[in-house]
Structure 1
Amino acid sequence: MFCLKCGTKNIENARFCSQCGHSYTRYQQRNRWWLTGIILTFLLMSGVFIYAFVLDKERTKETIQTPVEKIAESTKLVEDEKEASATTSPNVTQKKSTTEQKVPSPQTSTEKDKKEIIREAQTRVYTILTEDSLGSGFLFQDNGTVVTNAHVVAGYIDVILRDQNGQEMSGKVIGISNQYDVALIEVQNLKGSSPLEMEMKESEVGTEVIALGSPQGLENTASIGYLTGLDRSFASEFQYENVYQIDAQVSPGSSGGPLLDGKTGKVIGINSALLTSDESIAFSIPIYTMTDLLTNWSQSPMDENEVASTFNFYNEVSAYDEYAEEEEDTYDVPYDEARLANFIINFRGNYETALRDENFGYIEDQLLYDSQAYHEMANYLDEISGQEMIFKFTLNDVTHIDTQTDQAIVSTYEVFDFMNAAGEWSIYERIKDYYVVTDEYGDYKIKHIEIYQ
C-alpha cells in the first residue's frame, strides 16, 4: 500500500508510513465512521418513508369506513355553535336550540311517558263536592269550564271544587242534561288555565287507558287499564248510548273524571258508570260525542232557572216547603243507598282535609248538631291541634248499607297511614258504622260513629 501523504510504498496492513510516519489507523477510523453515518442515514430515511406510507393508508381507511361518524361530528360542531349562539342571543330561546339539536321521531313526538301524562293531567283534574255527593271533573276550555257527570251535580247550582293541592274554589253549573250524563261548571279561578287536550275521533279496542279521579274519596287517583269494548248501550237514569267499556278501576267518586289515552294523554272519555254486578267493568262516555253540547253550554250558558228546572229542583223544593208547613215532624226522606254511599265518601274526604288543616268547619255541616258524633269530632280535632300529626287515607270502601225507618247505617272499611307527634309512622285499619239521619230540611247528617278496631 502507498502512503497518501508522501507516496512511499509500505507493507500491507502497516499502521504508519515508514518514510514520513503518517498514521493509517486514523484514516481507517474516519472511513469507518463515514460508512456508519451512511448506513444510519439510510435506515432513518427508510423508517420515515414506511411511517408516512402506513399513516396515509390508515387515514384513507378511516375516511372510507366512517363517513357517517365524520358527518355526525361535523353536524354536532355546527349544532354546538347554534346552541352557543342561542344562549347569548336575547331573541333566541334555549328551547329552540334544544329542538334544533334533536328532532324527535314521529312516535316520540306523539307518545308520552305515563308518569308525565298522569303528572300533567292531575293539575287539571278536580274533586267536585256538593252537600251530599262527591265526584270528579276536568278542565275543558281555557275559559274556566270544567266537565263532570250530571248525576254528580244534579239539583245544585253552586258547587265546590278542590284541586290536587287541596285548594278549594267555587263553581257554578252552567250546563246540565237530564238525557246525557254530562254537566259543565264555570270556575272563575280557572280562567286562563290551559285545558286538557281532547281526542276528536273514536278510539280503538285495546287502547291503553288511564282513569283519573277521586274513587271512594281518594283524591288524585290514577288507574291503568284497556278499552275493552265499543258501542255499549244500556238504560239507567240517563241514556248511555255507544259508550266505551273499560277495565280500568273506577269507583264511586270517579264519576266525571277524564279517561285518557295511555300513550298520547288526550281525553277520550268521561268516566260515568260502573257495572255493579262486576266491578271490573266500567263505562266512559266518548268525549267526541259530547264536545258540541259542552261547547254550546260554554259559549251560551244556561241560566240558574234552566239548570234548576232540568231536574225539577225548584218544584221539589216548593213541594217540600208546603209539606213542611203542614207537618211538624221531621221530613222523612227515603234513604237512597247510592246517595248514602256518596255522602259518607264525601264526608271522609272532608274529614281528611279537616285533620290536615285542624279545622272542624270542614265537617261540621255533615254532622247532626249537638249529637254524639258532633261533640266527639269537635273534641278530637281540638285535642290533636298543634301536634303536627299526619293522616294519609289509602282506602275507604262502603261495605254495607242498612236502611231503616228512622235512620241508615253505612258500614265502611278504612285504611290510613298515621304519623304521631313523635314522627313515628303506623298503618291503621278501621271498620266503622256511620249512623245517618235526616234533618228538618231532608239533608243527611251523621249522628253517631261506631269504630271497631
Structure 2
Amino acid sequence: MLVIALPVSAASLPDTIAKIKPSIVAIGTYNRLAKPTSKILGTGFIIGNGKRVATNAHVIPANISKQNKVRLVVFVGQGSNIEMRNATIAAVDKTHDLAILSLSGSPLPPLNISSKHVREGELYAFTGFPIGAVLGLHPVTHRGIISSITPVATPAQSTKTLSIKQLKALKNPYRVYQLDATAYPGNSGSPVYDPKTGQVIAVINKVLVKKTKESLLSNPSAITYAIPAKYLKALNSSIK
C-alpha cells in the first residue's frame, strides 16, 4: 500500500485555523438612522492586550467623528452569533496603510506578531471576510506561497506618468510580500500567518500597494500583496 506523507504545514493548518478564528474580526460602521444600519468594510485581528485590533488604515472611513452619528465598530464572532462592539482609533501609519483600534468590552485572544525572516517560496495562510458581508460573517482561509518580496512602487520611464502616491513611495521605498493566493476587497486587514504556529508575518493590503505599484496599468492585476508585520509591530509599540 502506498502511503503519502503530507507536509507538516498541511497537516497542522486545520488546527491553526481553529485557534486563530476567534481572533479574526470584521471592521465596520453603525448608524442607527441609516439603512442598513451597519456596514462591513474590511477585516481585522486581535493583537497586544486583547483589546487592540490591527487592520488597514484605508478600511477606516473618513467620516468617523464625534460630531456625526456614524460609529466605528468591530463585529466579533461568526455566522448568526455576532456581537457588535464600539472601537476608537489608537494609532495610524498611513505610509504602510496600517491602523490599530482600541476595542471596548472584555479582551479577546490575541495573535502573535512574528519577527521571523520571511523567504520567497514559503507557504502561508490568511483568514478574513472576502467581499465583506455578501458571503456572510464566516471567516474564509486561503493559502499560498510568498512568490516575491518586491518594492512597494515600480519606477517608470518618465515622472509624468507617476502618481503622487507613487512618487512618495519611490522616495522612501520599502518591500512588500507578493502572494500567489487571491484576496478580495473584504480581505483588507486580514492576517497572513504561519500555518504551523499561527504567528502573523504580514497584513493583506488591497489598496495602497495596487495604487502605487500598479498605477501604470489600465486594468490592475489580481495579484495579492501584504505589508510586512514589522511595520505593525512598530506601530503597536508606539502606543503609549
Fold-level similarity (TM above 0.5): yes
Per-residue CA distance 1:198-217 (angstroms, 9 max, x = gap): 21123111111111111112
Which of 260, 264, 274 is residue 193 of structure 2 equivalent to? 260
Residue 212, structure 1, aligned to residue 133, structure 2: no
User: Quick check: 1:207–1:261 contact (8 Å CA) kept in 2?
Assistant: no
1:286 matched residue in structure 2? 228
Deviation at 1:223, TM superposition (A): 0.8
What TM-score, normalized to structure 1? 0.39
With a CA cutoff of 8 Å and minimum separation of 6, indicate the structure with the bigger relative contact order: 2
The count of residues paired between Structure 1 and Structure 2 equals 189
Aligned partner of 1:246 among 179, 188, 207: 179
Matched, 1:203 2:118: yes
Unaligned runs of 5+ in 1: 1-106, 301-453
SS in 2 for 1:230: strand
- Structure 2: which 5+ runs fail to align? 1-6, 31-38, 66-70, 154-164, 211-218
After superposition, the Cα gap between the structure-2 partners of 1:186 and 1:114, relative to the gap in structure 1 and judged at 3 Å, is same
Please list the CA deviations of residues 431-452 of structure 1 after superposition, one character each: whole Å capped at 9, or x if unmatched: xxxxxxxxxxxxxxxxxxxxxx
Is residue 2:104 matched to residue 1:188? yes
Q: How does 1:315-330 map to 2 (within 5 A)?
A: none
Find the residue that maps to 2:220 and give its secondary structure: coil
Q: Specify the structure having the higher radius of gyration (Cα).
A: 1
SS in 2 for 1:151: helix
Q: 2:148 aligns with which of 229, 233, 242?
A: 229
Query: How much does 1:195 deviate?
Result: 0.9
Change (3 A) 1:241 1:146: same
- Residue 194 of structure 1 deviates from its aligned partner by 2.9
Question: How far has the Cα of 1:292 moved from its partner?
Answer: 1.6
| 2: CA distance, partners of 1:261 / 1:271 | 14
Superimposed CA distance per residue, residues 9-31 of structure 1 (whole angstroms, 9 cap, x where no aligned partner): xxxxxxxxxxxxxxxxxxxxxxx
Contact 1:208 1:263 in 2 (8 A): no
CA gap of 1:213–1:256, structure 2 versus 1, over 3 A, is same
The DSSP-based 3-state class of the residue aligned with 1:148 is strand
The aligned counterpart of 1:134 is 41
Counterpart CA distance in 1 for 2:106 and 2:44 is 13
Name 1:46's counterpart in structure 2. none
Residue 189 of structure 1 aligns to a residue in which SS? coil
Q: Which residue of 1 aligns with 2:35?
A: none
Counterpart amino acid of 2:117? E
**Which residue is equivalent to 2:55?**
148
For 2:54 and 2:167, locate their aligned partners in 1 and report how far apart those are by CA, in whole Å.
19
Q: Cα deviations across residues 255-291 of structure 1 (Å, max 9, x unaligned)?
A: 1110112232210101012656221x11101112331
Determine the C-alpha separation between the residues in 2 that align with 1:145 and 1:194. Answer: 10
Q: Which amino acid aligns with 1:206?
A: G
Distance 1:278 1:154, change over 3 A: same
Q: 1:203 and 1:167, CA in 2 relative to 1: closer, same or farther beyond 3 A?
A: same
The runs of at least 4 consecutive aligned structure 1 residues that moved more than 6 Å come to none
Please identify which structure carries the higher helix content: 1
Shift of 1:133: 5.8
Task: Answer yes or no: is the 8 Å Cα contact 2:127–2:142 preserved in 1.
Answer: yes
Contact 1:232 1:245 in 2 (8 A): no
What is the TM-score of this pair, normalised by structure 2? 0.70
Q: Who is 1:159 aligned against?
A: 72
CA distance in 2, matches of 1:282, 1:206: 15
Compared with structure 1, are the counterparts of its residues 117 and 255 closer, same or farther at alpha carbon in structure 2 (3 Å cutoff)? same
Letter paired with 1:171? A
CA RMSD of aligned residues (A): 2.6
Letter in 2 for 1:227: I
Tell me the CA shift for residue 163 of structure 1: 2.0
Q: Which residue of 2 aligns with 1:73?
A: none
Change (3 A) 1:171 1:198: same
Letter matched to residue 228 of structure 1? S
